[in-house]
Amino acid sequence: MILRTLLALMLAVQPVVAADLPDLGEVSRQYFSDQEEQLLGRMILRDVYADPRYLDDPGIEQYLDQIGYRLVSVSSRNQQRFNFFVVSDPTINAFAMPGGLIGVHTGLLLAAQSESELAGVIAHEIAHVTQDHIARMVAAQSQSQWPTLAALGLALLAARSNANVASAAIATTQAYSIQNQLNYGRDYEREADRLGFETLTRAGFDPRGMESFFGRMQRANRFYDTSAPAYLRTHPLTTERIADMSARSESAPYQQITDSLEFQLVRARLRAMDDSPQEAVRAAQAALKEGRYSSAAAARYELVTALARARRFQEAEAELQALLAGQAASPMIAQLAGDTALAADQPALALQRYEAGRRAYPEYGPLILGTLRAQLLGGQPADALVLVERQLLLRPGDRRLWHLAAEAHARLGHRLLSHRAQAEAAALSGNLVAAIEQITLGIKAADGGFHELSAAEARRREWQQAETLQRERRQ
């Protein structure tokens, strides 16, 4: 719900002429304090995760993270934390939000004809973040030069308070007034294009990716001014922008960049998850038979995924073996091998496959999550606990690991530690109220030692303070 409001916020209805822009080269962080931006980011993230259209797929998210951070690392704000996520939506769109949040629609992942095209759009969005465009738009419109978090917070809250008609009416009015102002103007678009192009080039993608994607969109939509796809309404595309992109592309040295296998696998996975399972199987079988694919391995990967979804495990296993016998190697294929066994309710085989995958790709997070699931499903919660605790030392910010830690503790009868892990997962998802509830349940369970109990109490105080601050800022 809130995601839709946010998307609406990002949609351009009328282009705004951004007046009095400071010199675009140097951007001071005067619009939000870092703390405010983090707070806002956390509020938005909670709504993202709660939205049914959020695609909770660690493998695809990991791929997007890889592309995203490859770009971020050569951008002007390479120290900032970004959060890339996928939204199940067939429209071609991507959007940036405060706190370094960047959402990508599945429609965009499927429409991109090369990895560099996808990276071009993400690089453009990253530039909107590094240049503080959203905060500046709010600043340009409000009376004071210092927009408060409350102004945006209210807009964000509008959808959430639907049940409460009285306050919703007030919030909605404010949300609309902000909505009409939030669209990227020409200056912002030009800047995001220019910086995005630089980032794209520096990160080693084909710099022509940007022009080929935007150019194709423009040609496809020449005759549909009023029903332009969401992306074009959010980021108004002008002849001038296209001309600038062409000029930049022409001056770029020619280089042939090969797409990663993962780019094809991610798209194969999305296609296999689309439609009814039987329809997805039919489509994948036809594509494989008729040779309509850019990668044979990806075509087979799609078929295995679709067959497992249709619970046709024997056929899935046969196609998987054909895939594994081929030349293609990727952590996503190792993951698929484990996932197929797990879906067929064979946790021992799944565990064996995930562990083999981890020997080849020790850093690949989804294989660790798979191992933990197989251990829990196979009745080995003590092993799962050892592994998850070791992993949490390396990645304490991984909410999926905390969920699995909670499950391992629960199976072992550790009530305090299970609730504590649930609470950490909730806090990382931006939901402090749920975090406080969970940790309170844990403290009441009173089955921990003195140290565990006092640690939990300290953690609860910390969250209570942060939650109070959040509430104050919203008023």
Residues that bind Zn ion (CB under 5 A): 184, 192, 235
Compute the least distance from the CB of residue 462 to Zn ion, in Å: 37
Query: DSSP letters of 457-471?
Result: HHHHHHHHHHHHHHH
**Spatial separation of the C-alpha atoms in residues 7 and 159, rounded to whole Å:** 12
Question: What single letter denotes the amino acid at residue 134?
Answer: I
Compute the least distance from the CB of residue 103 to Zn ion, in Å: 13
Which token pair is 134?
A: 């959203």
Q: In this complex, which beta carbon is closest to Zn ion, that of residue 102 or of residue 192?
A: 192
Which token pair is 171?
A: 């919030």
Compute the least distance from the CB of residue 192 to Zn ion, in Å: 5
- Considering only CA atoms, which of 30, 28, 66 is closest in space to residue 332? 66
- Considering only CA atoms, which of 195, 162, 158 is closest in space to residue 175? 158
The answer to whether 428 touches 83, Cβ cutoff 8 Å, is no
Compute the least distance from the CB of residue 61 to Zn ion, in Å: 22
Compute the least distance from the CB of residue 240 to Zn ion, in Å: 14
Q: In this complex, which beta carbon is closest to Zn ion, that of residue 17 or of residue 163?
A: 17
**Spatial separation of the C-alpha atoms in residues 376 and 374, rounded to whole Å:** 5
Compute the least distance from the CB of residue 216 to Zn ion, in Å: 16
Q: In this complex, which beta carbon is closest to Zn ion, that of residue 235 or of residue 409?
A: 235
Compute the least distance from the CB of residue 403 to Zn ion, in Å: 34
Q: What is the DSSP letter of 54?
A: B
Where does residue 67 rank: exposed (0-12), middle (13-18), buried (19+ CB within 10 A)?
Answer: buried
For residue 366, give the H/E element and its range: helix 365-377
The answer to whether 150 touches 178, Cβ cutoff 8 Å, is no
**Spatial separation of the C-alpha atoms in residues 55 and 63, rounded to whole Å:** 13
Compute the least distance from the CB of residue 137 to Zn ion, in Å: 11
Q: In this complex, which beta carbon is closest to Zn ion, that of residue 63 or of residue 184?
A: 184
Q: In this complex, which beta carbon is closest to Zn ion, that of residue 117 or of residue 398?
A: 117
Compute the least distance from the CB of residue 96 to Zn ion, in Å: 8
Compute the least distance from the CB of residue 233 to Zn ion, in Å: 11
Burial annotation 138-160 (CB, 10 A radius, 16+ → b, else e): bbbbeeeeebebebbbbbbbbbb
Q: In this complex, which beta carbon is closest to Zn ion, that of residue 15 or of residue 378?
A: 15
Which residues 6+ apart lie within 8 Å of 272 measured at CB? 280, 284, 301, 302, 303, 305, 306, 309
* Residue whose entry in the numeric block shows the structure tokens 């092993």: 383
**Spatial separation of the C-alpha atoms in residues 262 and 358, rounded to whole Å:** 17
Q: Distance of alpha carbon 208 from its chain centroid, rounded?
A: 25
- Considering only CA atoms, which of 257, 277, 273 is closest in space to residue 265? 273
Q: In this complex, which beta carbon is closest to Zn ion, that of residue 115 or of residue 189?
A: 189
Compute the least distance from the CB of residue 22 to Zn ion, in Å: 19
Where does 302-394 show beta strands of DSSP type E?
A: none
Q: In this complex, which beta carbon is closest to Zn ion, that of residue 193 or of residue 317?
A: 193
Q: In this complex, which beta carbon is closest to Zn ion, that of residue 108 or of residue 157?
A: 108
Question: For the chain, what is the radius of gyration of the CA atoms?
Answer: 24
Q: In this complex, which beta carbon is closest to Zn ion, that of residue 192 or of residue 435?
A: 192
Compute the least distance from the CB of residue 187 to Zn ion, in Å: 11
Residue nearest to Zn ion (CB): 235
- Beta-sheet pairing, 101-105 with 94-97: antiparallel
Which token pair is 188?
A: 């912002």
Instruction: Please tell me the total number of residues recorded for the chain in this structure.
Output: 475
**Spatial separation of the C-alpha atoms in residues 235 and 395, rounded to whole Å:** 35
